[in-house]
Every structure is written in C-alpha cells, then in structure tokens.
Amino acid sequence: MQVLSVTSECVPLIKTGGLADVAGALPGALAPFGVTMRTLLPGYPVVMGMVKDARPVARFDNCFGGPADLLAATVAGLDLLILDAPHLYDRPAGPYLNQSGVDWVDNPERFAALSWAASEIANGAIKDWQPDLVHAHDWQGGLAPYYIARSGAAGRVRTVLTIHNIAFQGLAPASKIAALRLDPADFHADALEYWGQISALKAGLVFADKLTTVSPTYAEELMTPEFGMGLQGVLRDRRADFTGILNGIDDEVWSPASDAEVKTYKAPKGKGPNKQRLREEFGLAEAGGPLCVVVSRLTEQKGLDLLLQALPTLIGRGGQLALLGSGDPWLEDAFRRAAGPNVGIRIGYDEALSHRMIAGGDAILVPSRFEPCGLTQLYGLRYGTLPLVALTGGLADTVIPATPASIGAQVATGVQFYPVSAEALSNALNKLCDLYEQPESWAKMQRNAMGQAVGWDQSAARYAALYDSLMTKR
C-alpha cells in the first residue's frame, strides 16, 4: 500500500509539538504492515538545509502566488516529498509565526498550497508514483481531502484526516475563497463555512473518508461542546467514521537502557545518580520529598498557571520542581519569579536536558486542561518517572491512577486528578507525596510504569487496519 502523509512538521526536520513526532514515527511504524509511506512537507529553510541530493519530480508553475518544485529526498530514513516554494516558505522564524510571534498573514495560502500539492500528487503529478491513500494531519493538511474530492479522484484515492489539536482550525476570511481555489458553492454550514469564515480543518472533517484523533478519550471529548471548539456537531454526524488511536513514542530514542544522556539505570535505584545530577544542573539542594519535573509549552492549555497556584503544596511537603519550557511571556515571567532553593527553572527547550530531567525526576507533572494525547507522560512511564496528570484526553487513557483498588491489584502507574483546578491539583500533589513516603508501593508503581507498552506497535496496527478497511471500499 502506497500512502502519502501530508504534514506541516516532521521530526527530525522541523518540530513545534507532538504532530512532528507522530509524522516522523509513522512511516517506520507502518512499514512492517506492508505500508510504504512518503511524507509531503513544506520547504522551510531548515528543511531545505537538511536535504542533500534532492531531485525534482514535478513542477507547479502557479502554486498560490509563484512557481514551485516538488523535490524527492531521503533524510534520516524518511522518504520525503518537499514542496519547494520560496515565495511561501523561505522565511525566518518558525513555520507558522513571524519574528514578532504573530501568524504569517498568508498562512491560509501557505498550507492550502501544501494540501493542493497533495491533490496533484494523488492525480498523477509524479510520473512513476501515485498514492493509494492520502493521510492528512491537522488543519494544515485539512484541504487535501477537499481538493481530492473535488478533483474527481476520491473514488480512486482514499483519504484520512487526523486531528492532533482541534484548537487550531485554519480559519480564513470568506474573501479568500477564490485565492484558496475553493468552490463558492461549498461555502455553507455543511461544508467549508465556520461562523462566516473558511475552516480548513472543517473541510477535512467533512470530506475525508475517515477521521482519527490521537486518543480514544479525546475522540469522545471532541463530540461535546466543552472540547469540540464549535465542531462537535460535525464530529457527531461522522461518529461512524471517527476513531481515537493513541500515539506512541519512539522507544529506541526514549530508552533508559541505551539513552546517552542517562547514567546506569534501573528504577528505582537508577534514579540516584540521575537525580543527583539533575539537582546539580538546576541548583537544587537535597530534599526529602519527590523531585518533580515539567517539560512543556508554558500555556494555560497545559494547566501551568494551576501549577503555580499549587506549588506551595509541593514545596511544603519537601518536594521540588525542575521545569523546562517556553511559551506565554506572562507564564515565563511567573515561573522565573517562582525560582528558589527548591524550584529550578529553564526557559527554552533543550532535547538532551529533557532526557536527563525525565531520567532524574521522581514524577512528571502534566496538569493540562485538555490534552489530545500527550507524550511526556509516556516518556515518564518509560523511565519510571511517575506521571501526575489531569483526567482528560490521552492522559486518562495512558495512566492507571493510584487508588486503593489499583494499588491492591498492583497495577497503578501514576496519579490522576479531577476537576482540573488548582485545588484538585494541590490534593493530587499531597497524594503524590504520600505515595513517595511509601517506598515499596512507589517502587512497585515504577516497575508497573516501565512495563507498560508505550511504543508504536499497537497503534500502528490500528492505523494499518484502518487503511486496509478503506482499500476494500475502492
């Protein structure tokens, strides 16, 4: 089976969040199931800088404001197709925001071009290769199922859209209908229109053959007003075609047995040297409570404003916090002010340091208000760093909460809290400290966590089965 993955970011070339990890992992995870996946990616400067020996396979003379070349290349084992359109992608700063941290004004055209290129590929733009199925990711790929359907290729090339975070919907003013090569007749509530605007994500939700999101619980949440961001009705209408498939992690990259950043490791004893090194890096003294870590974007979605309010509870119980992240300026400033003898803060991102933090921490905190899947709690499980998580989305699906029943059955892997409030988080931190003061129970939970399957095997099998179900309907 030949599959084209359409994504705006992909590890190891460009990353702002979990989408990149998934896009980078899926080709290798699906290969054992007979799926050959090529990844279509914008030609950002950082991507072009990593590509060697690229060869042109197609030319688009009018690609949303200028010419573009479609290049084939291989990077880190990934079979890539790169849309080299300098007028759209050859810019400083990140993939979505300018140097002032504001969305590029032509983002609708930039990612419509990516989706349109996917449709052209589906219709034979590459001389000797054509996909059986196009798998689009988030709003940036959301118009691909629409363009494919309107090109007449829908019966021959099947489409899947995965929602990684419904909060980002790819909205554009209705005045851009012509510029985005959309049919004005489709601008209505049952197709492209979202409260008077064009929604690229909604287009994908309406026109893709199948829809997925990144955890079963998030799939259920998205069909409610609280989480659906105005698209819950569309998803309820498509319930029969909508499923949640958990993300996995690269369990070779995130492996305590072979991690170059980790000292000799076997939980719980392996925490000793790694924990000491982590304390030294963050300037933390010895303490009697758990050393908690946070590796996250600093946003309200991630519930980190709640952690600021609950932090005195952790410190009061002898616990400590080491935090690595960046995001909203006010949260960055608030955490800088919170730094002290038992609170170490690093603003920014450092991949190697994140490995050392998860190896050295006793617990990892993920108090998100909503979390489609989450990856850091999976890293924590892998390293015996017990997750303390909010009861939402993929956090609910991946952490077995410590209750009298689960502890008695010896299956608990972490702590969950609900509702998502500062008070509930404070209670959960107290519970975490109580558990930490019971060494045998804590060690058992660590072993449970490290024994949990967090790789891609099961999830890849579900994706492959979904693809197969579509192939039988062609």
CATH of the domain at 298: 3.40.50.2000
What per-residue confidence (pLDDT) applies to 270? 63
107 pLDDT above the threshold of 60: yes
143 pLDDT above the threshold of 60: yes
Whether 261 is in a domain gets the answer no
**Comparing 69-78, 152-161, 331-340, which segment has the lowest mean pLDDT?**
152-161
For residues 133 and 279, state if they share a domain: no
Q: Which domain holds residue 382?
A: 271-450
For residues 394 and 332, state if they share a domain: yes
d(CA 282, CA 321): 9
Whether 147 is in a domain gets the answer yes
For residues 292 and 415, state if they share a domain: yes
For residues 460 and 444, state if they share a domain: no
Average pLDDT on 288-294 reads 97
For residues 135 and 279, state if they share a domain: no
Whether 265 is in a domain gets the answer no
For residues 202 and 280, state if they share a domain: no
- 295 pLDDT band (50/70/90 cuts)? very high
Peptide bond into 86 cis (omega under 30): no
Q: How far is CA 461 from CA 160, 248, 257, 423, in A?
A: 15, 12, 26, 40
- 348 pLDDT band (50/70/90 cuts)? very high
Tell me how many domains the chain contains: 2
90 pLDDT above the threshold of 60: yes
For residues 228 and 368, state if they share a domain: no
For residues 467 and 443, state if they share a domain: no
What per-residue confidence (pLDDT) applies to 266? 60
433 pLDDT above the threshold of 80: yes
For residues 293 and 361, state if they share a domain: yes
Q: Is 302 annotated as a binding residue?
A: no
Sequence-distant (6+) residues with CB within 8 A of 166 are 201, 213, 222, 227, 228, 229, 231, 372
Q: How confident is the model over 401-413, as pLDDT tens digits?
A: 999 999 999 999 9
250/147: higher pLDDT: 147
Whether 263 is in a domain gets the answer no
For residues 159 and 280, state if they share a domain: no
For residues 238 and 90, state if they share a domain: yes
Q: What is the pTM of this model?
A: 0.93
Whether 214 is in a domain gets the answer yes
Mean of all residue pLDDT scores within the chain: 95
d(CA 51, CA 230): 39
- Please report, rounded to a whole number, the percentage of residues in the chain having pLDDT higher than 70: 98
Q: Give the up-direction half-sphere exposure of residue 84: CA atoms within 13 A in the CB hemisphere.
A: 17
What per-residue confidence (pLDDT) applies to 272? 86
Which of 102, 110, 103 is CA-nearest to residue 44? 110
Provide the β-strand partners of residue 198.
172, 193
Average pLDDT on 438-452 reads 95
For residues 177 and 130, state if they share a domain: yes
Cβ–Cβ under 8 Å, residues 218 and 394: yes
What per-residue confidence (pLDDT) applies to 265? 57
